[in-house]
């Protein structure tokens, strides 16, 4: 977009605008993660921020944006001595989700390095972003190996490029800004913690505000230059306010009482590590400077907590981010000051002190609060503690549907047991690793064996494109027989392009784990369904840790449905599982056919990602003509296509029919009971799911 949308023309989104402005005032805050649904001006606001940032002084001709006052002594373009400086605008560098490693960190000419000993280096995006803004749209979809590189650079303030002993280092300090839609998956905790602040955004439900958004957007699309000109005065005012706040920032006093409140708040909410305390301190200081004050007040600490802590409180992907504001206020009051700070009669921690100048932004540094989380809330469990007193399953030999626990109206003929309310999931546990056999080439992950860019070296091949991982021994071996013919006379090795060999590496890939869950009346007994949901929740947690995509198909009554299309959002799958109703007959064939259709579509969309189907059932098939035969034929479709599958046998009781085992045989997979699914049930064993047999191997 040649003419960015003006920052001050963004309607609403006070928390988002404040978080970005605080980072403009104090880049040491550590960046912003913007979470929210699509179409909420996340990218628009971030891209507009660069126009408000003050310019930076750089060494003329330096590709790494060195400061002329304190140039990097190890700069690849250095040394810089008596080099004139020039000022340029702050860069906004975007990192595409599908970027390669060389595009991110830069590329080294291996051929020249081997033959001439020259470090011919082409800088990457990390060099471009130095002393600027690095923006990652859809940051939760970024490949794992790029996340690792990003983490290293953010932690060390430098980027290292290593190619077989030849290395280049350059400074890489940047403001990291990311946007994401939580429905598409969560971030790894290590990357999540690198963002200083986080904000949740959602579209306004007020008609007047929505009308204002549409009017401004249409006016901008019709005449971008004219629209930007109408907001130029407001933009200049905010830019001046940022400069003034930056100048005031070193004078802001962070007293002991504010530090005590910060430490007490982080301790009360049990955040990990000390980064949260540091980020809160920097944010509170920036809030005071933005408000034109030299003292940090309790209101600054409170606002800093709302911005810096929610994303650091997640213990697992199923936890809803957020803070209990009542608990926050109680903590601030408990550790508030007993006496007034000098020159600050308002420093008593009141919730509504007078604000400072607004400068075109939120007055006093505190934006209007509609609640810290406008996103979708986690589905609550409608059952109470009496669930533990529910009756056991009906005898396994009874081929009728299990009776409902609570009295209900009689079902229609042939409808099976009536629908029951959802029950809570049992406590999750660590599961055995289930993997797909063979060697894949899918997206990097942590489940099945695959050819990847990272991992142990298993061989060498000719590069099909740009060389990224040199196999030195194979390259030397290919070049050695030709040295005399090439007229070698010195110590250097004469290397041609045809001699270069790419290292082939083996690592792990992420898979598509499709859960096919039986929600019929035969599974509806309270204790059994609680255990089943606990097992699926455990497998979902395992899928999150192994970077898989997940999908959820359920079957009950007379049909099957896709409760969740394949997605990277494991916590969304957990929420759908929590609200899953049960009851009715068991259309097993319908569930398997629906799963077959989902996998067929996904193979077209992402052919490199191999599927693993997990069927959670007791193996019964009822309803319709010849339900058992239909289920067998549906299972045969999966077996014919070689779909790796595992059946989690949910049958309980003294007498078991073994129907789940028979289903696993027809699928060409394996069956495990709920007890066998636990990783600690047989110490040290790992189950591999194969297309024809169950391979159990002892882990090293």
User: Kind and range of the H or E element at 151?
Assistant: helix 144-156
SS3 246: helix
> Is the torsion defined by CA of 171, 176, 182, 186 positive or negative?
positive
Q: What is the largest CA-CA distance in the chain?
A: 95
Report which DSSP code applies to 77: T
Which of 217, 253, 275, 451 is catalytic? The answer is: 275
**Residue 194: CA count within 13 A, CB half-sphere:** 23
Query: Is the Cα torsion angle 213, 214, 219, 224 positive or negative in sign?
Result: positive
Measured CA to CA, the distance from residue 510 to residue 548 in angstroms comes to 5
d(C-alpha 630, C-alpha 349), whole Å: 69
Give, in degrees to the nearest 5, the angle at Cα 364 between 358 and 366: 110
- Cα–Cα nearest to 428, from 321, 540, 575, 525: 540
DSSP string, 506-570: EEEE--EEEEEEE-SGGG-SHHHHHHHHHHHHHHHHHHHHTT-EEEEEEEETTEEEEEEEEES-H
Alpha helical stretches, state H, 554-681: 570-578, 588-605, 627-640, 659-667, 674-677
Q: Is 275 a catalytic residue?
A: yes
Asked if residue 37 lies in contact with residue 203, where contact means CB atoms within 8 angstroms, the answer is yes
d(CA 66, CA 170): 10
**By CB neighbour count within 10 A (0-12 exposed, 13-18 middle, 19+ buried), where does 657 fall?**
middle
Helix 325-334 × helix 256-268 angle, to 10°? 140
Looking at residue 405, what DSSP letter applies?
A: S
CA–CA distance, 648 with 638 (Å, rounded to integer): 16
- Report the alpha-carbon distance of residue 14 to residue 206 in Å, rounded: 15
Q: Show which residues are catalytic.
A: 275
């Amino acid at each position: 977009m040649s003419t960015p949308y003006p920052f001050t023309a963004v309607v609403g989104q006070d928390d988002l605008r404040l978080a970005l402005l605080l980072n403009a005032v104090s880049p040491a805050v550590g960046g912003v993660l913007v979470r929210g649904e699509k179409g909420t001006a996340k990218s628009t606001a971030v891209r507009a921020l660069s126009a408000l940032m003050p310019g930076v002084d750089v060494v003329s001709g330096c590709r790494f944006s060195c400061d002329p006052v304190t140039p990097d002594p190890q700069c690849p373009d250095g040394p810089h001595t008596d080099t004139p400086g020039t000022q340029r605008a702050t860069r906004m560098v975007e990192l595409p989700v599908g970027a390669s490693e060389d595009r991110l960190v830069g590329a080294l000419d291996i051929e020249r390095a081997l033959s001439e000993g020259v470090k011919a280096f082409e800088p990457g995006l990390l060099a471009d972003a130095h002393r600027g803004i690095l923006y990652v749209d859809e940051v939760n979809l970024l490949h794992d190996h790029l996340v690792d590189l990003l983490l290293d650079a953010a932690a060390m303030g430098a980027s290292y490029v290593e190619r077989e002993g030849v290395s280049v280092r350059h400074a890489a300090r940047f403001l990291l800004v990311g946007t994401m839609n939580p429905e598409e998956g969560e971030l790894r905790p290590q990357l999540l913690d690198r963002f200083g602040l986080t904000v949740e955004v959602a579209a306004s439900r007020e008609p007047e505000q929505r009308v204002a958004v549409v009017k401004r957007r249409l006016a901008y699309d019709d005449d971008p230059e004219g629209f930007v000109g109408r907001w130029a005065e407001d933009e200049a005012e905010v830019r001046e306010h940022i400069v003034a706040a930056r100048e005031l920032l070193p004078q802001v006093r962070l007293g002991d009482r504010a530090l005590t409140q910060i430490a007490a708040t982080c301790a009360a909410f049990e955040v990990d590590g000390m980064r949260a305390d540091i980020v809160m301190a920097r944010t509170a200081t920036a809030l005071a400077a933005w408000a034109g004050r030299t003292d940090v007040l309790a209101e600054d600490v409170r606002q800093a907590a709302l911005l810096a802590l929610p994303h650091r409180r997640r213990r697992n992907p199923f936890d809803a981010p957020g803070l209990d504001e009542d608990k926050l206020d109680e903590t601030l009051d408990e550790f508030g000051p007993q006496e007034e700070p000098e020159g600050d009669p308002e420093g008593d921690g009141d919730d509504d002190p007078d604000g400072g100048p607004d400068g075109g932004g939120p007055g006093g540094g505190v934006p209007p609060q509609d609640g810290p989380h406008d996103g979708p809330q986690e589905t609550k469990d409608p059952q109470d503690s009496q669930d533990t007193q529910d009756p056991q399953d009906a005898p396994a030999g009874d081929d009728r549907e299990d009776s409902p626990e609570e009295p209900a109206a009689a079902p229609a003929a042939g409808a099976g047991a009536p629908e029951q309310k959802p029950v809570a999931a049992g406590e999750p546990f660590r599961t055995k690793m289930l993997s797909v056999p063979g060697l894949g080439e899918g997206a990097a992950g942590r489940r099945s064996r695959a050819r990847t860019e990272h991992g142990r070296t298993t061989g060498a091949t000719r590069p099909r494109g740009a060389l990224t991982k040199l196999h030195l021994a194979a390259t030397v071996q290919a070049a050695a027989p030709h040295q005399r013919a090439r007229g070698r006379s010195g110590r250097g090795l004469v290397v041609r392009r045809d001699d270069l060999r790419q290292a082939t590496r083996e690592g792990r890939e992420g898979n598509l784990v499709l859960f096919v869950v039986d929600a019929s009346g035969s599974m509806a007994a309270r204790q059994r369904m609680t255990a089943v949901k606990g097992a699926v929740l455990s497998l979902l947690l395992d899928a999150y840790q192994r970077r898989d995509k997940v999908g959820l198909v359920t079957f009950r009554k007379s049909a099957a449905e896709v409760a969740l299309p394949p997605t990277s959002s494991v916590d969304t799958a957990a929420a759908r599982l929590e609200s899953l109703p049960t009851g009715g007959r068991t259309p097993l064939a319908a569930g398997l056919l629906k799963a077959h259709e989902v996998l067929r579509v996904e193979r077209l969309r992402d052919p490199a990602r191999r599927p693993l189907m997990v069927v959670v059932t007791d193996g019964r098939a009822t309803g319709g003509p010849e339900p058992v035969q239909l289920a067998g034929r549906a299972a045969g479709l999966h077996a014919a296509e070689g779909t790796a599958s595992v059946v989690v046998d949910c049958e309980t009781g003294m007498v078991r029919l073994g129907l789940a085992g028979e289903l696993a045989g027809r699928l060409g997979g394996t069956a495990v009971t709920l007890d066998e699914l636990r990783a600690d049930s047989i110490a040290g064993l790992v189950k591999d799911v194969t297309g024809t047999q169950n391979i159990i191997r002892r882990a090293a």
